[in-house]
A and B are shown apart, each in its own frame.
Chain A
């Protein structure tokens, strides 16, 4: 235990005193902004797709007692209803896609109610453009100057969502914890693990590994590094959180935060699951880094080889919109059980309420097995490759070693 502490302490101190550590930590927000621009295209595509989905709705009910919407506009899939309770029950049982309620006093309240299905975060405001264009067209056809303020977003839309017969809440506050979890995930899984790869490779390149083996258990050496690097990641998180808090504090006068922080939901079960997925994702990639760092003779070679695994692990990012729209679809299911992608996809599906209790239990057990299996192989590779100073360990020797060891 003392060895793990000493190694962790050394890893931490030697990293945080490097200027490059602080530069990379502070450059991270810039990188995130750049990535946001890149992913903006994907978001646009997703938005278009959602609008198409709204336009493709089979049945939209309209409760409009004063016929604010002219009869000429009430065409399929729009259908006028008289009984508001019956209409709501159709939304609840899923036989209609949406119900628009145009109140009698719309000119004063400037408010329309929408009842619809909760199909995940992407269903938030799904019918808003439809309602706005319907109101806009109706006002334009009536040539009444008093109605002009209702055009161009002048109407507030209050949406109520149902899922499996129950009313649900879709609010941005719900996504604060998941977003924080994803930020933590990326910091730990990708940045911290890069430090781990550097550390394992340098130990070998510096020819310190053999002296270490005569003093410290191999597992202690690796765990010491992992603990140290986790602390480094937490330092980065603390710096980033502080920086964000400072920015918010100094810009509150000009910056209207669209999130009510008091409404953030701290669900202990979900938070535990996020922490589990973050930790397991970190450990799975950590095992890959230990293995790659062990079998490659130099850091440079280890880094290029490890990029294959990093690309594989961020693979779900490339079809994130599909994941959002079909969180229980085939692709989502497949990547939920692939070792490198499982923790990230499972966390995403948890956010979208697309994981059943059984799936949570089965996938968690599987993820634990991936972590154990990953470290079993990583430690074997460390045993096999850590003293190979000049050559890559061949796939054949790895296969032979693993088979021999497991027999």
Chain B
């Protein structure tokens, strides 16, 4: 797998206060990578180190195999957490200005800006002063600044913050399109449902250190239980050497295999005992549950 971002033993301290502690992770080409953590856990600092906005105290933070260089700016789209706009400027001139700064020609910049405005239903506002737009419309312009150069790598720090459900959905669609077109996306979010919808891999940090890292399934699996939730017909024995039952009532049961048995053993055993199984699931927690557990746990 081609690594787009490679963070190795990254440490960043402010004075004597360490904010990022020995953090390592990789983002592969084509990933939609979620960068998770509570407020103040060091996510923004890590991103700033990646983009050379802050100098790491130790360790390395590489993009496309190199330390960030402004020559890479044309391949990257960055939407910071603290973001704004030149509110007295017009929509079109703002998009064109940033496109030019990213190395595009004026003609190309204008063409791309119009295309983007059309995509986000703002083409009628191309000559409007930004301060006259609604906050949701302004956020679309901020995103436009990030996306206008069709970047290979998108780094989005809380991209959906403050967006209404319609615009949030539009953003998700846009990110999907970009990812399908080959862009790698790294994003910070506190909306775990969004992460579950679009991310394939993640790193979760707590107090500047890595807590969890891997694919979404791998991470959730670490917190999964092997409790089987069954909807059935027939009669399930309440005491059996194959499992422990936490509840059996109204044709719904929760059974946990013993240390000597597996979920397969339990299902086979029930079928052998003429239990008709209508439906079953093996318990996996939501990312929200995982996040809360990690943040509350002293183990991480």
Contacts and interface: CB of A to CB of B under 8 A. Distances in A.
Interface in A1-45: 3, 6, 10, 14
A400 B14 CA distance: 11
Contacts of A214: 51, 53, 73, 76, 78, 80
Contact of B83 (A14, A211, A215): A211
A81 interface: no
Q: Give chain B's interface residue range (CB within 8 Å of chain A).
A: 20 to 34
Interface in A187-235: 202, 205-208, 210-211, 213-217
Given A206-B87, A208-B85, 6 more contacts: A6-B101, A14-B86, A14-B88, A14-B89, A206-B85, A214-B76
B223 interface: no
Nearest to A216: B101
A208 B145 CA distance: 11
B100 interface: yes
A210 B53 contact: yes
Contacts of A6: 97, 100-101
Contacts of B146: 211
A33 B146 CA distance: 50
A215 B73 contact: yes
Nearest to B146: A211
For the complex of A and B, 4 pairs with smallest distance between CB atoms: A207-B84, A210-B80, A214-B78, A206-B84
Nearest to A207: B84
B84 A215 contact: no
Nearest to B78: A214
Contact of A211 (B80, B87, B88, B100): B80
A384 to B, nearest CB: 11
Contacts of A211: 78-80, 83, 98, 145-146
Contacts of B165: none
Interface of A: 3, 6, 10, 14, 202, 205-208, 210-211, 213-217, 387, 389, 400
A6 B98 CA distance: 10
Interface of B: 15, 48, 51, 53, 70, 73, 76, 78-80, 82-89, 97-98, 100-102, 145-146
A208 B101 contact: no
A14 B80 CA distance: 24
A387 B44 CA distance: 12
B87 A215 contact: no
Given A214-B73, A214-B78, A208 B86 contact: yes
A389 B73 CA distance: 24
B70 A217 contact: yes
15 contacts: A3-B101, A6-B97, A14-B88, A206-B85, A208-B85, A210-B53, A210-B82, A211-B79, A211-B83, A211-B98, A214-B51, A214-B78, A215-B98, A217-B70, A389-B82
A84 B51 CA distance: 83
A370 to B, nearest CB: 28
Nearest to A13: B93
Given A14-B89, A206-B87, A400-B15, A215 B80 contact: no
A214 B86 CA distance: 17
A1 B97 CA distance: 15
Contacts of A205: 84
Nearest to A221: B101
Given A10-B97, A207-B84, A208-B86, A215 B70 contact: yes
B84 to A, nearest CB: 3
Contacts of A216: 70, 73, 101
Nearest to B73: A215
A3 B101 CA distance: 6
A391 to B, nearest CB: 13
Contact of B82 (A207, A217, A400): A207
Nearest to A208: B84
B27 to A, nearest CB: 17
A215 B86 contact: no
A210 B83 contact: yes
Contacts of A3: 101
Contacts of A387: 48, 53, 82
Given A10-B97, A214-B78, A215-B101, A207 B70 contact: no
Contact of A213 (B51, B83, B88, B100): B51
Contacts of B51: 213-214
A216 B76 CA distance: 13
B259 to A, nearest CB: 52
